[in-house]
Structure 1
């Protein structure tokens, strides 16, 4: 599904943010990535998505379904992201001038797909009957539900989530994470979630710790994920 090989990123010479990361993410796997602030977690997501370029290497550092991200020009990378990726952000990035239906339907529109599934996804995230409302009418938890619906509506193979519950209270965060886990398991999407929250990481199938030495499997078990399997 997604393969990282010797993935490195340096902004300041002699001070790499990421150095020689290697990992293989499987289809349908929900992975949480934790680590200290500044270790490069968000940078890693940007590199996976092709929003930032890794250091030059002879080995393709990011392969998605057999496609080398670094081999794509800007237009091709944009098309791949549009078709195969879904994004969930801490700040939601819901467009304020669009209704909830229009926000969720945007990936469908960009991919030339029927917009009927937008209503299905709004139902799935518990926002039935709110299709014509605008983002300013919703709470933070409801906005994150819209963001999840939008990320999954076009059935992407890869979902990237950057601190998706960072702005939510614990009860709402738990509800959002249960929803996210159930939806991605139903769709079979590989999901990579960057988080500082141990409670959030427990929802994943696997927790990795990002350090200056690379990605390492966390020693702690993910009990909630095990119960849901």
Structure 2
């Protein structure tokens, strides 16, 4: 589904945050990426999403999504790929305050010219049935993250990218959000990549990867990482 091939990223100040990262992510797999602060976890998600560009020295096929090299796409094609094939869950939610819950969730459907009826169904699936016409200011943090998850999954993306999705939540809410995310990913058959510092969050994934200055490796020892 997603393949990284010798991916590197160095910023203009000469700081290298990713160095020769290669990995193959499979459809239907929920993967957690852990590692020290500043090692490039969020940068990796931005590169996969096409929101940032790899080093010029990287191969043309450094990031392959569904067999398509991101580097081969112009801006319009890359935007279409993000809109149609990807879903994003952010630590800060990014729920639009002036839209109702169902309008927030329906946004990916509208952008992809799809029927919007699925938005209400997805809200129900994340435990917010009957609250279509509420506004974000009426929600708790956990409920807003549920809206964010519903929005990320409503158009059935092939790839879900989650950047510290439980970072602002209390432990009980975080646990329920992760179970929800895990369940919905399995139901849609998406590949999901979650960046997290939390051992408890990583434990909910199918596979834990350790990102470091020397690349990416699978691990089972989450105690190596920051809390």
Relative to the length of structure 2, the TM-score reads 0.95
Q: Report matched runs for 1:54-203 at 5 Å.
A: 54-56=54-56, 57-203=58-204
- Checking the alignment, whether the CA contact within 8 Å between 1:117 and 1:153 is kept in structure 2 is yes
- Checking the alignment, whether the CA contact within 8 Å between 1:105 and 1:115 is kept in structure 2 is yes
1:37 has 2:31 as partner: no
Q: Distance in 2 between matches of 1:167 and 1:55?
A: 32
- Show the counterpart of 1:25: 25
CA deviation after TM superposition for structure 1 residue 14, in Å: 4.5
SS in 2 for 1:117: helix
Structure 1 runs (4+) greater than 4 angstroms displaced? none
Q: How many residues align?
A: 221
CA RMSD in angstroms comes to: 1.0
Relative to the length of structure 1, the TM-score reads 0.95
Q: Distance in 1 between matches of 2:39 and 2:175?
A: 26
- Checking the alignment, whether the CA contact within 8 Å between 2:32 and 2:205 is kept in structure 1 is yes
Q: Distance in 1 between matches of 2:59 and 2:77?
A: 21
Q: Distance in 2 between matches of 1:176 and 1:53?
A: 31
Structure 2: unaligned runs, 5 residues or longer: 223-227
1:212 has 2:202 as partner: no
Q: Distance in 2 between matches of 1:217 and 1:86?
A: 24
Structure 1: unaligned runs, 5 residues or longer: 222-229
CA deviation after TM superposition for structure 1 residue 71, in Å: 1.2
